[in-house]
Amino acid sequence: MPPDSIIEALGAARIFDLEQPRHQRMPVHPAHQPGFNYFLHRQHGRGVPEPPPRTSASGVVVMPEHTGTHIDALSHQAENLRLHGGIDVNSGVMSATGFSVLGIETMAPLVARGVLLDVAGKQTLPPGHLISAEELQAAATVEVREGDVVLVRTGYGALWDKPRDYMKSAGVSSAGAQWLAGKKVRAVGADNMAFDTNDSFDKELGFTLPAHVLLLVRAGIPIIENLNLEELAAAGVHEFVFICLPLKMQGATGSPVRPIALA
Query: Cα 135 to chain center, whole Å?
Result: 21
pLDDT for 46: 75
Element (H, E) at 187: strand 187-190
pLDDT for 176: 98
User: pLDDT for 135-154, tens place per residue?
Assistant: 999 999 999 999 999 999 99
pTM of the model: 0.95
Q: For the chain, how many helices (H) and strands (E)?
A: 6, 17
DSSP assignments along 10-76, one per residue:
HHHSPEEE-BPPP-TTS---GGGTT--EEEEEE---TT-SSPTT----EEEEE--TTSSSEEE-GGG
CA distance 108 to 188: 15
Confidence of residue 162 (pLDDT cuts 50, 70, 90): very high
User: pLDDT for 29-74, tens place per residue?
Assistant: 999 999 999 999 988 987 777 777 888 899 999 999 999 999 999 9
Query: Cα 205 to chain center, whole Å?
Result: 24
Length of the chain: 263
Burial of residue 171 (CB within 10 Å: 0-12, 13-18, 19+) is: buried
pLDDT for 202: 94
pLDDT for 124: 96
Helix (H, G, I), strand (E, B) or coil at 211: helix
Under 8 Å CB-to-CB from 78, ≥6 apart: which residues? 89, 217
For residue 223, pLDDT over 80 is answered with yes
pLDDT for 186: 98
* Bridge partners, 207 (sequence order): 202
Q: Please give the average per-residue pLDDT across 92-104, as a whole number.
A: 97
For the chain, domain boundaries: 70-262
Helix (H, G, I), strand (E, B) or coil at 256: strand
> Helix H segments across 145-255?
163-166, 174-182, 210-212, 230-234
CA distance 62 to 64: 7
Q: Please give the average per-residue pLDDT across 242-260, as a whole number.
A: 98
Confidence of residue 222 (pLDDT cuts 50, 70, 90): very high
CATH for 70-262, options being 1.20.120.450, 3.60.15.10, 3.50.30.50, 3.40.250.10: 3.50.30.50
Average pLDDT, the chain: 95
Q: What percent of the chain has pLDDT over 70?
A: 99
CA distance 250 to 98: 7
